[in-house]
Amino acid sequence: MSIAQALTIAGSDNGGGAGIQADLKTFQELGVYGMTVITAIAAQNTTGVQGVFPITYAGVAQQLDSIGEDFHPHAVKTGMLYSADIIRLVAEKWLHYGWSNLVIDPVMVAKGGAPLLQQEAVHTLVTQLLPHALITSPNVPEAELLTGMSITNMNQREEAARQIVQMGSTYALVKGGHDEGSGMIIDVLYDGEHFHYLENIRVITRHTHGTGCTYSAAITAELAKGSSVMAAVTTARAFIQAAIEDELGIGAGHGPTNHFAYQRRQRGER
């Protein structure tokens, strides 16, 4: 029996809503075997981040080698990489092991505003890792940090997507969840030639912790199973929409999304 395998290189969220915990839940729900390389441990809950404790360079390197020497991930996603040194290390190991289907979720700021990527690491991400990406999936604030431009409308979001592709990513997905001027959320996918728009009804809820991690993990899982980028993004968009709509109501702050929801809907359960 051959099973699709996916690797997430990211931080740990002990509250379970984001980071490697969200990634593994998403991989499992979509029928993909998940593996992890942990870059940092965040002490956090739904009210915020209380501390971030980075894993040593040697610790991350050994984890990457442990995966590369024994496993064969069909897709790899990155989340919180924390530092320029770790970003360079991931790029080196990516090339060394010949992995494919890289999904970059450029995690830079937590939902409550705490920084999750050191400032000097942004340039390293753009120049050393992003050129290997099949798809990069920033939200609007992350796209602003990557491109250095202000994004307040759809034309600017499209321009940001163009710039990200010019940086080397094959596809750019600029998500619209932070654009609160509409009853719809419109995500913009750019393939280097054409724009594609994924629209969903905005859900008014505070339970959106981990949406970016979950969205990109679902893309990664679908790519690992052999889906095209467009098909992977379409399924991932439906996955995160269900996860937001069928809220769990956990925690006093920004609660986690419901990773069970998509497959339960597929089975006709609610």
Q: What's the pLDDT at 133?
A: 98
Query: pLDDT, tens digit, for every residue of 146-158?
Result: 999 999 999 999 9
Active-site residue 175, yes or no? yes
Selecting among 19, 25, 93, 213, the annotated active-site residue is 213
Distinct helix (H) and strand (E) counts, the chain: 9, 9
Active-site residue 98, yes or no? no
Q: What's the pLDDT at 1?
A: 63
Q: What's the pLDDT at 182?
A: 66
Pairing state between β 195-201 and 184-190: antiparallel
Selecting among 211, 214, 235, 257, the annotated active-site residue is 211
Query: pLDDT, tens digit, for every residue of 200-244?
Result: 999 989 999 999 999 999 999 999 999 999 999 999 999 999 999
Active-site residue 56, yes or no? no
Spans in the chain with pLDDT lower than 50? none
Active-site residue 211, yes or no? yes
pTM value surpassing 0.85: yes
Selecting among 25, 175, 255, 257, the annotated active-site residue is 175
